[in-house]
């Protein structure tokens, strides 16, 4: 039977610039994103022909090629040239992996899961079918069912239901040079697999392991126990299963432990795992696991674990429910010949695969690394070498309303650099990071975005703005903020603008009254208005940074705080008096840096000449226009 996929159609799609919609503006505050991006920040956007219920992404980072699978299509996208190939496949694509030097694609195939191995592209031709396989246990029967896949040195690992009703869901090695192995039925209860990662050990290849992160039903049925718990499990890469007499084709190294994120002293935990990102290090013990959790009280949290934390629990903890002597070799140990393991070791794995000790973070032991009221759903972490020659971790968090938060990790603190609005209240279906290209690919039901992570042009107005951004992708060089160049000006740790005194073109003056740095040459919004006495009038000041405070100063008069309305700070004058005329200035203040943002000159209209009827009408027109616009703002303000 011929496979139901044909990638022979080649299309060249036009990508269009898109504008990010600015909505849901929060109040000013340090716990909010500093910037809300509403410009031409997304260079590449791909519209789906129809909205997709499910999409899957796979990035060949070595070739700068992205594969996107959906309902009845597979796209191959060069992330730089925008060259796309598309072909019909008459099913929902759920798995795309690079497997044995070919592209491996699996789909639901009309409730009969099927997989195809494809030739690599040659010239301008799209991929062609090499072989087709039964996809049971690799692809789910329907896209709403749980699935997980991973390739390791020519072997395919997968988790998908064996039955149409979604049952018999477990993590297996399904294809490759090694023996197919699977889990013992009693090891997990109603699992939802979230992520799997192969952790390399350059100096100890035989001990390399695959780590699996999942949720499952809690065996503790007491009323105060959470019905679901989060787990991390591991298996050995070299595990070939047991002998023909015992545990044949079954993992001999499977162990699991409870992964906890929360406040241990209060016994308050985030138990619902949403996403996991493993940031690999040269020394495998220094690799970090970033795990995104949610809770029943509508908060999300990120907890960070070192791979050393995880392995120590598996190597040192007792086995839950087991009271005998620990056999040799210790259960879970990687051995060259797993078929020769003694019964004593295998029996502990079979009946007591769970560790007694819970897995806490030693990096942030007292509380989660980051807790937020935002409903985050996806997570990725990039490692960035900044201009100060230090390396920083940047978290990329997707909200349930189609926004991406770029967050800087600073020890135990986070700094939300920016929020980019990609979609109008749509949730992210899949998200993948190209650390090599510094791009984030985000897939929604209606479209796909390829987002450049360096967004330095948003901080171009001055050296101080570039430094205050705290964006490790950027630094001030010459007369602009650019993607990080060694020797550029940046101050990520302290975020102080004093470093700008050495900038190439950064003139400085000092406001003696405030003893703060002021940038007078930066672009300022200026306007002059002729306003009659007694008329209500408002002045507006654009909010550039939501971490700044904004004040209004009447030159020669009072200083007042601004009233935020959306992305503007307002100053309302209920009725103009003679003392209201003159110059009104809006200043932003952030980390010791004061900037003039807007300036207005209000003057009284000249007395009309009673002999000139047209002049009298003109003055009344100004009066009514000003009155109507000021009243409209007051009504909108009060209604807000």
Determine contact, residues 276/213, Cβ cutoff 8 Å.
yes
The pLDDT assigned to 48 comes to 67
- 201 vs 6, residue with greater confidence: 201
Task: Report which of 77, 76, 108 is spatially closest to residue 4, judged by C-alpha positions.
Answer: 108
Q: What rounded mean pLDDT belongs to the chain?
A: 83
Q: What is the predicted pLDDT for the residue at 81?
A: 53
Least confident of 32-36, 74-78, 477-481, 520-524: 520-524
Q: What is the DSSP letter of 120?
A: P
The pLDDT of residue 206 is 93
Asked whether the predicted pLDDT for residue 412 surpasses 70, the reply is yes
What's the pLDDT at 69? 78
| pLDDT band of 14, cuts 50, 70, 90 | very low
Residues whose CB falls within 8 Å of the CB of residue 278, separated by 6 or more in sequence, listed in order = 195, 197, 199, 211, 287, 288, 289, 290
Q: Is 288 helix (H, G, I), strand (E, B) or coil?
A: strand
Q: Are 613 and 540 in contact (CB under 8 A)?
A: no
Output the pLDDT for position 17.
Answer: 27
Q: Above 90 in pLDDT, residue 624?
A: no
With beta carbons less than 8 A apart as the criterion, state whether 378 and 403 touch: no
Q: How far apart are the C-alpha atoms of 73 and 70, rounded to whole Å? A: 6
pLDDT above 70 coverage of the chain, percent: 80
42 versus 450: the higher-pLDDT residue is 450
Residue pLDDT, tens place only, 68-117: 877 767 777 766 654 454 444 458 899 999 998 888 999 999 899 999 98
Q: Please give the pLDDT value at position 19.
A: 31
Q: DSSP letters along 502-561, please?
A: GSTT---EEETTTTEEE-TTS--EEEEEE--TT--EEEEEE---TTSEEEEEETTS-EEE
198 sits in the region (left: phi over 0; alpha: psi -120 to 50; else beta) called beta
d(C-alpha 288, C-alpha 304), whole Å? 7
The residue that leads in pLDDT, 43 or 283, is 283
Res 11: pLDDT: 23
pTM (2 d.p.)? 0.84
Report pLDDT digits (tens) over 545-554: 899 999 999 9
More reliable by pLDDT, 421 or 212: 212
Residue 312 burial (10 A CB sphere; 0-12, 13-18, 19+) = middle
pLDDT of the residue at 112: 93
Alpha-carbon distances, residue 317 vs 147, 321, 327, 357, 420 (angstroms): 30, 12, 14, 6, 43
What pLDDT, on the 0 to 100 scale, is given for residue 584? 95
pLDDT at 377 > cutoff 80: yes
Look at residue 495 and give its three-state secondary structure.
Answer: coil
Element containing residue 59 per DSSP (H, E): strand 56-60
Least confident span in 30-34, 197-201, 259-263: 30-34
- Domains in the chain: ranges and CATH: 181-373 (2.130.10.10), 459-506 (3.30.1680.10), 518-639 (2.60.40.10)
Determine the average pLDDT of the residues in 342-366.
Answer: 96
pLDDT tier for residue 501 given thresholds of 50, 70 and 90: confident
pLDDT at 80: 61
Give the tens place of pLDDT for each residue, 582-603.
Answer: 999 999 999 888 989 999 999 9
User: 518 pLDDT exceeds 80?
Assistant: no
């Amino acid at each position: 039977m011929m496979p139901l996929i044909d990638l022979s159609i080649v299309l060249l799609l036009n990508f269009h610039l898109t504008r990010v919609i600015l909505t849901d503006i929060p109040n000013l505050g340090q716990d909010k994103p500093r910037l809300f991006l509403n410009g031409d920040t997304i260079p590449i956007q791909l519209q789906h022909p129809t909205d997709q219920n499910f999409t899957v992404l796979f990035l060949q980072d070595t070739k700068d090629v992205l594969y996107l699978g959906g309902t009845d299509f597979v796209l191959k996208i060069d992330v730089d040239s925008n060259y796309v190939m598309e072909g019909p496949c008459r099913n929902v694509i759920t798995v795309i992996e690079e497997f044995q030097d070919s592209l491996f694609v699996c789909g639901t195939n009309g409730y009969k899961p099927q997989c195809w191995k494809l030739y690599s592209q040659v010239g301008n031709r799209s991929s062609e079918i090499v072989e087709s396989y039964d996809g049971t246990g690799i692809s789910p029967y329907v896209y709403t069912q749980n699935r997980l896949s991973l390739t390791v040195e020519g072997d395919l690992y997968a988790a998908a239901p064996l039955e149409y009703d979604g049952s018999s869901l477990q993590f297996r090695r399904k294809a490759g040079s090694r023996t197919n192995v699977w889990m013992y039925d009693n090891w997990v209860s109603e699992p939802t697999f979230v992520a799997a990662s192969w952790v390399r050990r350059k100096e100890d290849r035989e001990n390399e392991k695959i780590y699996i992160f999942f949720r499952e039903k809690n065996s503790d049925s007491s009323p105060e126990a959470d019905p679901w718990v989060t787990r991390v499990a591991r298996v050995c890469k070299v595990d070939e299963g047991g002998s023909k007499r015992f545990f044949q084709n079954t993992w001999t190294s499977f162990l699991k432990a409870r992964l906890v994120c929360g406040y241990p002293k209060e016994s308050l935990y985030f138990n619902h795992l949403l996403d996991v990102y493993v940031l690999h290090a040269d020394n495998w013990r220094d690799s970090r696991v970033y795990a995104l959790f949610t809770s029943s009280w509508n908060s999300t949290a990120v907890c960070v674990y070192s791979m050393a934390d995880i392995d120590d629990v598996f190597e040192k903890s007792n086995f839950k429910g087991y009271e005998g002597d620990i056999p040799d070799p210790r259960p879970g140990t990687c051995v060259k010949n797993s078929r020769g393991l003694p019964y004593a070791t295998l029996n502990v794995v079979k009946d007591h695969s769970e560790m007694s000790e819970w897995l806490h973070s030693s990096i942030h032991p007292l509380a989660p690394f980051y807790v937020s009221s935002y409903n985050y759903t996806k997570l990725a972490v990039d490692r960035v070498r900044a201009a100060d020659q230090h390396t920083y971790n940047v978290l990329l968090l997707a909200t349930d309303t189609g926004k991406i938060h770029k967050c800087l990790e600073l020890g135990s603190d986070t700094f939300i650099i920016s929020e980019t609005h990609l979609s109008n209240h749509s949730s992210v279906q899949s998200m993948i990071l190209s650390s090599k290209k510094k791009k984030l690919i985000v897939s929604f039901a209606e479209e796909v975005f390829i987002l450049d992570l360096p967004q330095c042009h948003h901080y171009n107005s001055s050296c101080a703005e570039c430094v205050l951004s705290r964006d490790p992708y950027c630094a001030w060089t010459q007369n602009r903020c650019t993607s990080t160049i060694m020797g550029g000006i940046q101050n990520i740790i302290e975020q102080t603008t004093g470093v700008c005194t050495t900038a190439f073109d950064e003139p400085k003056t000092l406001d003696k009254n405030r003893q703060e740095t002021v940038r007078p040459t930066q672009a300022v919004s200026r306007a002059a208005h002729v306003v009659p006495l007694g008329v209500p009038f408002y002045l507006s000041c654009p909010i550039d940074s939501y971490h700044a405070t904004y004040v209004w100063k009447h030159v020669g008069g009072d200083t007042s705080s601004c009233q935020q309305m959306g992305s503007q700070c307002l100053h309302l004058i209920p009725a103009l008096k003679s003392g209201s005329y003159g110059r009104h200035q809006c200043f932003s203040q952030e980390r010791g840096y004061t900037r003039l943002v807007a300036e207005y000159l209000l003057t009284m209209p000249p007395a009309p000449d009673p002999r000139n009827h047209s002049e009298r009408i003109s003055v009344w027109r100004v009066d009514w226009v000003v009155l109507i616009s000021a009243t409209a703002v007051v009504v909108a303000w009060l209604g807000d």
